[in-house]
Structure 1
Amino acid sequence: MATTPTRLLIHGASGRMGQALLRLAAGQPEQFQAVAAVTRRSPAQRVVEGVPHFAASELAGVPAFDVAIDFSLPEGFDPILALCVERGVPLVSGTTGISPAQQQALEQAAARIPLVWATNFSLGVAVLAELVERAAGALAGWDVDIVESHHIHKKDAPSGTALTLGQAAGSAGADVHYASLRAGDIVGEHTVQFAGIGERIELTHRATHRDIFVRGALHVAQRLAGRAPGLYRVRDLLD
């Protein structure tokens, strides 16, 4: 039975993630249709490979869409959140560096629309977080350490993903310690180590290509459409 493609608004379309979203969505026309690409500055072309482009200042004039995917900057977060609330459509955001006030606005908006805000859209990392939480709950009193490795240009440490994994362990009562490595062109590796007396468990995720984050965001967007309002995690939308 044929299904209608999910209509996407790509916010932050000129960035690395935005460009990858447009590329991968175009490769799955039976599942996705990018109906608008929004960039910070006025676009050089109004239509690129069939996708209408808009400047951030023109956001109110974008056509109807089913889900917005936002990988922009903190200053662009408020307008896209407000537009989604106004139109009553879901928002998937991976914009980092948002302020406590913006985080509070996101949580308030979740009473009106379905939302996902995440530091990492890898489906494997979502499963890892669930395993970490279960292990931390079952291994009370064990030492918990998270070691993360990234490329030499990544400045924040620990990574947002490491902190998310730490929150998963901490929610089960663990006291978490972190170590960060910056070397070469490593896309991202995270190991959560549980150490007891005479035994040790290691849970590891290795990313070898950045497209995994884009595929995860598209997966989440497709499954968020039609959901009840609320603040969802990636792991809530795996099925």
Structure 2
Amino acid sequence: MKIAIAGASGRMGRMLIEAVIAAPDAQLFAALDRAGSDSIGTDATAFLGKNSGVLIASDLAALDGADVIIDFTRPEGTLEHLKACQAYGVNMIIGTTGFDEAGRAAVAAASEKIAIVSAYNMSVGVNLVFKLLEIAAGVLNQGYDVEIVEMHHKHKVDAPSGTAIAMGEAVTKAWDKALKDVAVWSREGITGERQDGTIGFAALRGGDVIGDHTVVFAGAGERVEVTHKASNRTIYAQGSLRAARFLAGKTAGHFNMKDVLGLN
């Protein structure tokens, strides 16, 4: 697989580059970063003390000839890459979060021309948790209040996390409801009693926490909690490679990690 990496000089970009060069079935084909970055023109694996021969570039023409790009950047950057991928026939793995409705629509439209795996979280474990939550919500659908608590590092710019939102969607899928109709995004002041059938969200930010998520089903006399804690970003890189392998040979379509893992 000829793989391009977006955001090549960032923490996640470097983790992805390291995973790609270690994979026997993958080749680092291109590395991208924003124009003006100090990394432009440097070797993509210099941080590992190695020379790959792949120089970090800002010109999206570097994508020409790649099989797939893995993109964990920001919505505005990902949408620019989306346009280039359609032009060059490059499939996409999108781990970027924080898209607005128009951004999500653009990704969906592009999937008619290229194959895309997009997910709030590329971790294999997290996507298994999504499935467990569907099961739990189907059983604990009467007499249980649902709250979702997540914590991330202090540099994260969106809240609640995309993974927390996806966990809420897993619960409401089992309830046959839309998350937007039952979500309580914040609480402040005299809020009154908790309304049945709602899902409360709490977002914590601090330190270097990679990602902790807990969904609480609180009933009378018992509480069930489903938790996932990430201790290393390599889980996202390995999940992304699994998604890239899934897309091999596909020319169009919009998929998620449950498709990749056979959980749908």
In structure 1, distance between residues paired with 2:260 and 2:7: 23
- Per-residue CA deviations over 1:137-173 (Å, capped at 9, x if unaligned) read 2221221111222234445332221111011111222
2:8 is matched with which residue? 13
In structure 1, distance between residues paired with 2:219 and 2:244: 40
- Per-residue CA deviations over 1:163-210 (Å, capped at 9, x if unaligned) read 110111112226311223334432221111112333322111111112
- Per-residue CA deviations over 1:205-227 (Å, capped at 9, x if unaligned) read 11111221112112211212223
1:70 is matched with which residue? 71
What code does the residue aligned with 2:10 have? G
Contact 1:151 1:188 survives alignment (8 Å): yes
2:255 is matched with which residue? 232
In structure 1, distance between residues paired with 2:3 and 2:157: 31
In structure 1, distance between residues paired with 2:35 and 2:29: 18
Please tell me whether residue 197 in structure 1 is matched to residue 194 in structure 2.
no
In structure 1, distance between residues paired with 2:90 and 2:206: 40
What code does the residue aligned with 2:115 have? P
- Per-residue CA deviations over 1:17-38 (Å, capped at 9, x if unaligned) read 111111121122x121011111
TM-score, scaled relative to structure 1: 0.87
Contact 2:41 2:56 survives alignment (8 Å): no
In structure 1, distance between residues paired with 2:102 and 2:42: 35
In structure 2, distance between residues paired with 1:78 and 1:159: 19
Report which stretch shifted further, 114-123 or 70-79: 70-79
In structure 2, distance between residues paired with 1:228 and 1:71: 21
- Per-residue CA deviations over 1:91-117 (Å, capped at 9, x if unaligned) read 111223333222111111112222122
What code does the residue aligned with 1:204 have? T
Query: Alpha carbons of 1:81 and 1:156: their partners in 2 closer, same or farther (altered >3 Å)?
Result: closer
Query: Alpha carbons of 1:179 and 1:98: their partners in 2 closer, same or farther (altered >3 Å)?
Result: closer
TM-score, scaled relative to structure 2: 0.79
Give the superposed CA RMSD. Answer: 2.2
Please tell me whether residue 34 in structure 1 is matched to residue 32 in structure 2.
no
Query: SS state of the match for residue 172, structure 1?
Result: helix
1:3 is matched with which residue? none
- Per-residue CA deviations over 1:80-137 (Å, capped at 9, x if unaligned) read 2122223333211122333322211111111222212222111110100111112112
**Count of matched residue positions in the alignment of Structure 1 and Structure 2:** 232
- Structure 1, unpaired ranges of 5+: 1-5
Residues 1-239 of structure 1 correspond to what in structure 2 (within 5 A)? Answer: 6-28=1-23, 30-41=24-35, 43-45=40-42, 49-56=51-58, 58-141=59-142, 142-173=144-175, 175-227=198-250, 229-238=252-261
Contact 2:133 2:226 survives alignment (8 Å): yes
